[in-house]
Structure 1
Amino acid sequence: MTTKVSEKITNNLAEVRQQLQILAEQSPQEQSVQLLAVSKKHSLEAIKVAIAAGQMHFGENYVQEAVDKINQLKDQITEPVQWHFIGPVQSNKTKDIAQHFNWVQSVEREKVARRLNEQRPDNLEQLNVLLQVNIDDDDNKSGLEPEQVNALADYVMSCPKLKLRGLMTILKADTTQQQRQQSFERMFALYQQLQQIYGEQIDTLSMGMSADMRQAVREGANMVRIGTAIFGERES
């Protein structure tokens, strides 16, 4: 990786963090916002540059690609990196996810939660879980219907090796600003309902990406998933 590319990633990270700080201060919730760097299809070298710039949370969509990166980085860094799985969870991939990740943001089925709980190694901390909600009823997206959230939340709470932390959503593509606002507002209302039931451990609402993070934070997101604005276009 060239020095120019490394500097670009470092500068991009600084710019995104500054934007998020300003947005957080302006949001009605006045809460800090966690930046999740989406590193899928980006090189190990790019991730190491981001780590050197202080980024500790990374999101991956593809299990084998992520496990390869995680294993390679174990021997190269000492920083406490947090790995988030953010893609659809296939039942045959739950063991690798349970063994290698710190977070799963895309739990939508009891079967998946059960397998993650059963396959989480005893020597690891609880696996942090977000429930993915298909807030726009989009046929192209995974996720629970809003009325299904409480039942799955109850189940995850009964799993000793899982820790329910909140909700995640991916909005439908090609929507208007008003439609996005309505979707974000519905997600924030669901998040508040979950907090009322389970209290302080519900602390994460993951919504918003490079194109809509400003609107997401204004409507209550406290974690945003940013890839292109940090790393540039993905490698083929």
Structure 2
Amino acid sequence: MESISSNLTAVREQIAEACRKAGRREDEVTLIAVSKTKSAAAIREAWDAGQREFGESYVQEFLEKVEAPELSGLPVSWHFIGHLQSNKVRQIVDKVTMVHGIDKVSTAKELSKRAGQHDLTVDYLLEVNVSRESTKYGFSPDSVLQAAEECFALPNVRLRGLMTIASPAPSEARREFAELRQTLDKLRQNAPEPSLLTELSMGMSGDFEEAILEGATMIRIGTAIFGWR
């Protein structure tokens, strides 16, 4: 059985190869280890192997890990990557580096409000349903442009870019990743601070190489690091 450390090494090598093919630098892509359903001990093993960015999807599980003795005192960079309901924002707002899955303007407004209460500035991404599947959350590529207009003026938060979960087929996924990149380009055209819109969170264990070829700046890898859930 492969160890988390050796899995991380293999993933990093694949990232390096994908960046080489894309003509990009490795430091342009942030690896987020998706640790949902995994133990604090497994996260600690990944940390000891040099991983610093971790992604969680469930609020209660995330809060338990933040307090876990195995991770006590470690400056873990937590990304909340799951669907976030407005009524749960207050529980995580002061504990996350970035919120990836904002799919309603009302949730962005709640994030702004709660960040203000903590005197924080919180980075977030808008989720886009580029595969147009009814089972997925997210704005359509067209409606996210209008939603962003409402979000730009919110205090105590910074819209940094877009995220998506693509179709299972890699060929479809690559087309969808390209569409997300094009959507971000459109978003920058009307943004008050286009230089802030740098992030494309896209690509998972089965398609992160395609995502890197299409400009991903953050990839969310779970299975390839921690094994099957």
TM-score (norm 1): 0.88
Report whether the alignment pairs 1:186 with 2:182. Answer: no
Within 5 A, what are the aligned runs for 1:1-236? 8-30=3-25, 32-72=28-68, 76-78=72-74, 80-120=75-115, 122-123=117-118, 125-173=120-168, 175=169, 177-196=170-189, 197=191, 198-234=193-229
SS at match of 1:131: strand
Give the C-alpha shift of residue 55 in structure 1: 1.0
Please, which moves more after superposition, 115-124 or 218-227? Answer: 115-124
Q: How far 1:99 sits from its partner (Å)?
A: 2.8
* Structure 1: gaps of 5 or more residues: none
Equivalent-residue separation in structure 1 for 2:95 and 2:222 (angstroms): 21
Number of residues paired by the alignment?
226
Which TM-score applies when normalising by structure 2?
0.91
Amino acid at match of 2:100: Q
Cα distance change on mapping 1:195 and 1:24 into 2, 3 Å: farther
Q: Residues 221, 73 of structure 1: CA spacing in aligned structure 2 closer, same or farther, 3 A cutoff?
A: farther
Q: Deviations over 1:12-53 (max 9, x none)?
A: 111111211221122155562100000000000010111111
Q: Which amino acid aligns with 1:147?
A: D
Query: Identity, % of aligned pairs?
Result: 37
Secondary structure at the aligned position of 1:100 is classed as coil
Once superposed, what is the RMSD of the aligned Cα atoms? 2.0
SS at match of 2:82: coil
Q: Runs of 5+ in structure 2 lacking a partner?
A: none
